[in-house]
Amino acid sequence: MNELTDIQIRFNDGQDLSLKVSLFGDNIGYIKQLIRKNAFERTSKKTIRLIHQGQLLNNDLYTLSNYGVYQQDSHIHCALSDPIIPTSMIYHVETTTKNDSISGFDRLRESGYNDEEIRSIRLQFHQMQRSSTYVDGVQPSVQEIQLEEEWMEHTGRRLPEGSDVRGHISELNRLAREFNAQYIIHTGDFGFYDKSSLDRIGDRPLKHWIQYTTLVSPKTRASLLASSPEQIYSTLENSPHTLLSEFSEFLAGNKRLDVPVYTVWGACEDVAIIERFRSGEYRIDNLFLLDEASTHVLEVGGVSLRLFGLGGAVVQHKLFDNGEGTDTIAGGLGVMWTTALQIGELVELALRVYDPTETRMLVTHASPGREGLLAQLALTLHADFTVSAGLHFRYNIAYNEFACQPEIDHFRNRLIQSQEQFMQLWNAIKEQVEESVDEHQYSLLQHALNVVNRIPPSLACLEESSSQASTWERDELAFKNMWNFNLPDAAYGSLLFNVHQGIMASEMRSYGLNFSYRKHKQQQQLASPAPSSISTTPEKPNQYRNSTYEQKDTSDTNNYNTNRNSRRQSMQRNPYTAYVGGLSNTTVTEDDIKNYFGYENVLGVKFPIDQTTQLPKAHCYVDFQDQYCLEKALTKNGDIYRGNKLVINKPNTGRGGRGRGYTNRDSRIMNMK
């Protein structure tokens, strides 16, 4: 991958400089150094800007492959200018006076070019155009501007994708500037809230929103989460600063989106706001909703990219519940979810606009990797890509099923499990639903049921009958070639598609996880004095022969026991404690658990916090009133609750003394002596 390739550096006087570089190993900063070394006089005291097919190569840490340059003998334009103003200053000064009437290469000012660089690019471009009569220093004619526009329009385009801006909508403009993006695709929890939403949002969704939005400072967040619900509502309503969402500022036109943004709604949104968009009462320039009633095609880099979207959480028992929604949109109390009718309408829409020349992308808030129903929907829509929001992850996830499953039957079994969950609900309410829907809604329900029954045939069935061979081949193709992307919150990472000449290349960026605490914690442990209990017996000769190893192992043991202490405290206080696992921490809360087991049966619920991510883990410990309540809860092991298969059992209560972990470590140390 790091073999050297010839590239041509083209200057504005028509002369080329040939360089040998690695498209995958040498970054832009290194290539600029090579240019200076091989064209010293020409580049001395000059600022170097590189451009490839209309795209500014402005990140010195990127390689050419990061910018979609894969071919040998590619031409890279080199614009030289005097270092008068830093790029950041140029961008700030010139974009504040942005004029929508600017066209041709003059639009490059919005990307940070100064006048001398634009002049250099313009001169070089028109020298290569046989039909151009451009004279250096003279304002281009209408025909020459049109040539420039056509050239820029047919160069590569960039589509960053983000998840969960959570009301900090200006973050999307930052992403657009950082990546020089033409479009942004967003996967929900956009921030469809205004101050009137406070009258409709519930306590728990509001606290959840406050915990993760970046509009609230850590200090304010801690203060709000420690306050009573009444105090939280009062603080948000009376705050002179935007704490809930910037939505109202964008709606009023005080702020604007710099590039077109295509978004689904998330799990935490106000259904009343969404319905006003659907009715046309609300409108924000450059904002387009992806839902079951609308689809968009982006003509980008030689690809017709068809966008489908489905917003909200996937909650099995709410698939036939509209909540406070007055149309097909479902939600209430500040949260939103998907319905079976929406799924059916989206399938109907996809069938109506089907074009085999298009590339299809399904954008959802919930993940097809977690929700089998969405994986079935992607198969039904013949999607090439799915893009969804993550559970507040710090890294992007990119996968296809072939990479994760040993064979297609494993994928099939996951879809069968999703089908069984749906049919359990459907069989219970089928008659009631069919009596209440009209003819068109009945048709939508049939589309939804087709999605639920979209199961790839098993290999055994294929051996018995060849009638399903075509379906199996199509599903196997999707099994191997449909790529799924799961995104972190926009503040912590993003996915970028570079689309050029029909090729969709991807780049993933993330803030990452901070592991420095481990080293710092270990240094603190090594520096702290040993506990007195360890030195109560006289030292023996060679007792600490392996002192370094032993000290590290003892520290690990102390950490192990310390981490278990908090988990054991509940069991020490109450012998009627159950472990409840298999939970989704975005849809199940402490109050949900109490409601599920019965408020009268539960004394308390504790969700452990992951020390690395500072997020609740996907399990909890429930203290029950007595042995009867505990035994009754244990009978629910394996039940399905809100799409989660519950794991309920009695926690390990330890085996006396220092516990199993300490004994194993002691034995290991003793064997080394």
Sort strands 330-332 and 335-337 into parallel, antiparallel or unpaired. antiparallel
Whether the CB-CB separation of 415 and 454 falls below 8 Å is answered with yes
| Residues 6 or more apart in contact with residue 213 via CB below 8 angstroms | 166, 167, 168, 191, 243, 244, 245
Task: Taking residues 491-518, report their average pLDDT.
Answer: 83
**Which residues contact residue 570 at a Cβ distance below 8 angstroms, ignoring those fewer than 6 apart?**
577, 604, 606, 621, 623
Q: How far does Cα 168 stand from its chain's mean position?
A: 15
Residue 364: count other Cβ atoms within 10 Å of its Cβ. Answer: 25
Percent of residues, the chain, with pLDDT higher than 90: 28
pLDDT of residue 62: 77
Residue 129 has pLDDT above 80, yes or no: no
Residue 565: per-residue pLDDT? 46
Kindly report which listed range (222-226, 274-278, 364-368, 566-570) carries the lowest average pLDDT score: 566-570
Average pLDDT of the chain, as a whole number: 78
- Asked if 4 and 11 count as a contact pair (C-beta separation under 8 A), the reply is no
Residue 558 confidence (pLDDT): 43
% of the chain with per-residue pLDDT over 70: 76
> Quick check: 462 pLDDT over 90?
no
Residue of higher predicted confidence among 419 and 164: 419
Q: Report CA-CA distances (Å) from 170 to 116, 177, 275.
A: 31, 11, 23
Residue 555 has a pLDDT of: 41
Which DSSP string corresponds to 106-166?
GGGGGGT--HHHHHHHHHHHHHT-TT----TTSPPPHHHHHHHHHHHHTS-EEEEEEB--T
Backbone angles phi, psi at 615, to 5 degrees: -115, 155
pLDDT at 537 over 90: no
The more confident residue out of 120 and 37 is 37
Rounded CA-CA distance 546/210 in Å is 50
The rounded distance, in Å, linking the Cα atoms of 75 and 81 is 19
Question: For the packed helices 469-481 and 372-380, what is the interaxial angle rounded to 10 degrees?
Answer: 110
Tokens of 387: 């893009």
Closest CA to 212 of 337, 390, 364: 390
pLDDT for 164:
63
- Cα 48 from Cα 57, distance rounded (Å): 10
Rounded CA-CA distance 636/121 in Å is: 70
User: Does the pLDDT value for residue 119 go beyond 80?
Assistant: no
Domains present along the chain, CATH in parentheses:
4-155 (3.10.20.90), 261-492 (no CATH), 545-672 (3.30.70.330)
Q: Judge whether 117 and 48 are in contact, CB under 8 Å.
A: no
Judge residue 98's burial from the number of C-beta atoms within 10 Å of its C-beta, 0-12 exposed, 13-18 middle, 19 or more buried. Answer: exposed
Phi-psi region at 298: left, alpha or beta (left = phi > 0; alpha = psi -120 to 50): beta
3 state SS of 499: strand
Least confident stretch, 178-182, 367-371, 410-414, 613-617 = 613-617
CA–CA dist 396, 162 (Å, integer):
10
Helix, strand and coil in the chain, % to nearest 5? 40, 20, 40
The span from the CA of 451 to the CA of 415, in Å, is: 10
Find the helix or strand (DSSP H, E) in which 664 lies: helix 660-672
Which helix or strand (DSSP H or E) is residue 462 part of?
helix 459-464
Indicate if the pLDDT at residue 178 is higher than 60: yes
Per-residue pLDDT, 331: 93
Q: Is the pLDDT of residue 463 over 70?
A: no
Per-residue pLDDT band for 573 (boundaries 50, 70, 90) equals low
* Residues found in the chain: 673
User: Is 536's pLDDT higher than 70?
Assistant: no
Provide the pLDDT for residue 391: 73
Q: Which ranges of 533-599 does DSSP label H, i.e. alpha helix?
A: 547-573, 590-597
Which has the closest alpha carbon to 206: 224, 188, 187?
Answer: 224
pLDDT, residue 246, reads 92
Q: In one letter, which amino acid is 312?
A: G
More confident of the two residues 461 and 417: 417
Least confident segment among 171-175, 380-384, 588-592: 588-592
pLDDT of res. 277: 93
Whether the per-residue pLDDT at 211 is higher than 70: the answer is yes
Give whichever of 127-141, 314-328, 508-522 has the largest mean pLDDT.
314-328
Give the per-residue pLDDT at 568.
41
- The gap from C-alpha 423 to its chain's centroid, in whole angstroms, comes to 30
Residue 281 has a pLDDT of 94
Could you say which DSSP state residue 105 is in?
A: G
Label the pairing between strands 640-641 and 644-645: antiparallel
The answer for residues whose C-beta is within 8 angstroms of residue 515's C-beta and 6 or more apart is: none
Q: For residue 427, give the nearest of 452, 454, 451, 444 by alpha carbon.
A: 452
372 CB-near residues (< 8 Å, 6+ apart): 414, 415, 417, 418, 419, 421
CA distances from 292 to 308, 345, 453, 670 (A): 8, 6, 20, 66
DSSP 385-448: EEEEE-SS-SS-EEE-HHHH-SSHHHHHHHHHHHHHHHHHHHHHHHHHHHHH--HHHHHHHHHH
The conformation of residue 291, written as its DSSP 8-state character, comes to B
Give the largest Cα separation in the chain, rounded: 97
